[in-house]
Chain A
């Protein structure tokens, strides 16, 4: 749980970054990198873009640190920056737009086989076949521990839509897992 005290400490850290404190910036980088990098890895789809997106994310964080209000966690703010950059990168490529209805999934052709893989690997492969918007919301809610309100703010949709989207995402994942006879994943 992130307490008010922790939020205050995080705000102080970003405040020092905004003042140009490079040591504070390195501390921010090291404390947040794991979650931000994981989000980018899960969402970018294209592995060659991951490092570039992370470089851009932290450069923007340095530049825009004065705009950090401190009413949420640092990782929420950084993931918001990363999300915008991912969106921009994909628009630049004009191949497809992530987070949209039209883009069904990143890896719809790979047919994972549970007998050849561990359950974790099979579940990971199953996740890759989900629509990006479903994959994203599951990642945010179940791993990044975003509240529905935080997801709503990040994605720019009403909170009720977040609930509905989580419901459909879970259902989609369950369907895929059952289709491939992957069980026992909830325990």
Chain B
């Protein structure tokens, strides 16, 4: 049998506390009879045990005051399902304790500050993308004298063929554009009424925006 197999020192507490079952106890005692080091360890264990018993001859007696507090906690609704146990009694004590924990916490204020910083960054990002503002209809677009001009923005999905068909339908031609915003200025031919042309443009699926130039 190897030394490792014979090492039963982990059983010393159970042996000295009389917690070994029959077979284990016999095996331990057989080894104990021939192993001087194990005997020394057992003796030392018993010595420390006696020392500890001698230090405090008697254990604390059950405290009725503590039991009363436990009973009050249980009676105050901290039933079987409750997870956290407040230190004091009742809801007010629990709230006070929670508030104190919040006040004392270092993590929570820093976490809030971090969340606020992130929110500010997200709010500022879109503002940097657009620095100039202009309206679609109030620009330097020249009004063709005697002829109706309409500002138009086509949908990005509109094909060239659809736009051509639409312009032909209202007898219009492109006078200017596209601007940076994608606006065209259309001149409507005299054969088509201005209002009708505007309605046609506004009703078209390919037009995003249409308005007469004032």
**Which residues of A are at the interface with B, using a C-beta cutoff of 8 A?**
1-2, 18, 20, 22, 26, 29-30, 33-35, 37-38, 41, 51-52, 54-56, 58-60, 62-66, 92, 120, 123-124, 127, 138-139, 141-143, 145-148, 159, 163, 170, 185-187
Contacts and interface: CB of A to CB of B under 8 A. Distances in A.
B63 A33 contact: yes
B17 A145 contact: yes
A37 B70 contact: no
Given A33-B63, A38-B60, A55-B73, A147 B14 contact: yes
B52 interface: yes
B48 A59 contact: no
B78 A63 contact: yes
Interface in B43-66: 44-45, 47-56, 58-63, 65-66
B80 to A, nearest CB: 5
B13 interface: yes
Contacts, number: 111
B7 to A, nearest CB: 10
Contacts of A139: 52
Contact of A62 (B17, B50, B52, B74): B74
A62 B80 contact: yes
A58 B63 CA distance: 12
B180 interface: no
B164 interface: no
The listed residue with most B CB atoms (<10 A of its CB), out of A26, A59, A141, is A59
From DSSP, what is the main secondary structure of chain B's interface residues? helix
A161 to B, nearest CB: 12
B68 to A, nearest CB: 9
Chain B interface size, as a band, is 35 or more
26 contacts: A2-B19, A22-B71, A26-B67, A29-B67, A29-B70, A33-B60, A33-B63, A34-B58, A51-B63, A51-B66, A55-B69, A55-B87, A58-B70, A59-B85, A60-B85, A63-B83, A92-B101, A141-B13, A142-B45, A142-B49, A143-B53, A145-B17, A146-B13, A147-B17, A186-B47, A186-B51
Interface of B: 9-10, 13-14, 17-19, 44-45, 47-56, 58-63, 65-67, 69-71, 73-74, 78-83, 85, 87, 101
A143 B59 CA distance: 11
Given A147-B13, A186-B51, A187-B50, A1 B59 contact: no
Contact of B44 (A26, A35, A143, A186): A186
A28 to B, nearest CB: 11
B12 to A, nearest CB: 9
A56 B19 contact: no
A120 B44 CA distance: 18
Contact of B10 (A56, A124, A163): A163
B24 to A, nearest CB: 12
The 3 A-B pairs with the shortest beta carbon distances in the complex, nearest first, are A34-B59, A186-B47, A33-B62
Contact of A186 (B9, B48, B62): B48
Nearest to A67: B80
Contacts of A18: 80
A172 to B, nearest CB: 12
A30 B67 CA distance: 9
Contact of B80 (A2, A63, A127, A186): A63
A170 B70 contact: no
Contacts of A159: 10
B54 A66 contact: no
Contacts of B61: 33-34
Contact of B56 (A2, A38, A147, A163): A38
Contacts of B51: 123, 142, 185-186
B85 A63 contact: yes
